Structure 1
Amino acid sequence: MTHHHTTLTPEALAQACSNAMHANDKATNFLGMQIIKSTPGFAQLTMRVRNEMLNGHDVCHGGMIFTLADSAFAHACNNTNKVTLASGCSIDFLAPAREGDLLTATAQERSRSGRTGVYDIEVQRQDGTLIALFRGRSYQLKGTVIPEETAV
């Protein structure tokens, strides 16, 4: 009897993890974020700035930009199928985003050893302007994002 067991490539696993997380992420979906790319230790998400995301100065609320960066961070550190949470993060706001802008957050793993990791996330406007720099520190828990395939 032949078993057709296929192990996912790291890239396919990353995408599967991101798809599973995104499907269950109410905040990310509420804000209209989309996953552009998810590969091991890397993720790119976009978000269109809507009217209800503006602060009292008519620019995108910093918390919304933070949330976009935080979501990209989450995908970059969970897409190797190890449940990982943020232990801390910081953000620098460099330029404003306005209603209608399409923001892209690009997250890149800088270091991962033991249970901890460091990730850098850049948020850019559609014209390439750097809007924010976010650094996240991660801590890996027990468990997987999606069920591990059982080898037969």
Structure 2
Amino acid sequence: MTDEPASAQRLAEQVRDGLWAGDRASQALGMQVTEIGPGRAVLTMRVREDMLNGHGMCHGGLIATLADSAFAFACNAGNELTVASGFAIDFLAPGQLGDLLEARCTEVSRAGRTGVYDATVHNQRGECLAVFRGRSYAMRGKPAVASAGR
């Protein structure tokens, strides 16, 4: 008898490592994957000066990118190639220079080829800056990371 939760966790970690190796966008923005598991991921990003918009706040597109990256890691954690089919985001408060933003994404539903994932983005003070809902589409029979176990 296999230890399915531990096996699913190991797979999620392998997928994280494989996806991260090629994720130049998230790396360039200074993101880090701080947690990964089946259907869930947590990523962080420090707001730098080059991330500020004309109002001196973190550009909303970069907050959305952080949430989208957490979504990508969460929905691919089972090693089935999965892409976004769309997302919506609501901004609740601005990010400021120096803030450490955390996007926490969890699977709400996965049925057939489609899934729904929710993420929240908080700053280091626990203030919620954004809520995100992503919709995913899985490519059946294709691994997210070829070297990860199935």
Q: Distance in 1 between matches of 2:18 and 2:144?
A: 8
Matching of residue 23 in structure 1 with residue 21 in structure 2: yes
User: Which of 110, 113, 127 is the matching residue for 1:112?
Assistant: 110
1:117 is paired with a residue of what secondary structure? strand
Contiguous gaps of at least 5 residues in structure 1:
1-6
Q: Highest Rg: 1 or 2?
A: 1
Whether contact under 8 Å (2:11, 2:149) holds in the other structure is no
Q: CA RMSD in A?
A: 1.4
Q: Distance in 2 between matches of 1:149 and 1:45?
A: 23
Write the letter of the residue equivalent to 1:88.
Answer: G
Contiguous gaps of at least 5 residues in structure 2:
none
Identity in percent: 52
How far apart are 1:149 and its partner, in Å? Answer: 4.0
Q: Distance in 2 between matches of 1:79 and 1:149?
A: 11
Write the letter of the residue equivalent to 1:65.
Answer: I
Q: Distance in 2 between matches of 1:145 and 1:57?
A: 38
Q: Which residue of 1 aligns with 2:79?
A: 81
Matches within 5 A, 1:4-19: 9-19=7-17
Please identify runs of 4+ aligned residues in structure 1 that moved more than 6 A.
Answer: none
Write the letter of the residue equivalent to 1:146.
Answer: V
For normalisation by structure 2, the TM-score amounts to 0.93
Deviation string 1:72-121 (CA, Å, 9 cap, x unpaired) is: 00000001000000001000000011010000000000000000000000
* Change beyond 3 A, Cα 1:88–1:59: same
The worse-fitting range, judged by mean Cα deviation, of 138-147 and 119-128 is 138-147
Q: Which residue of 1 aligns with 2:124?
A: 126
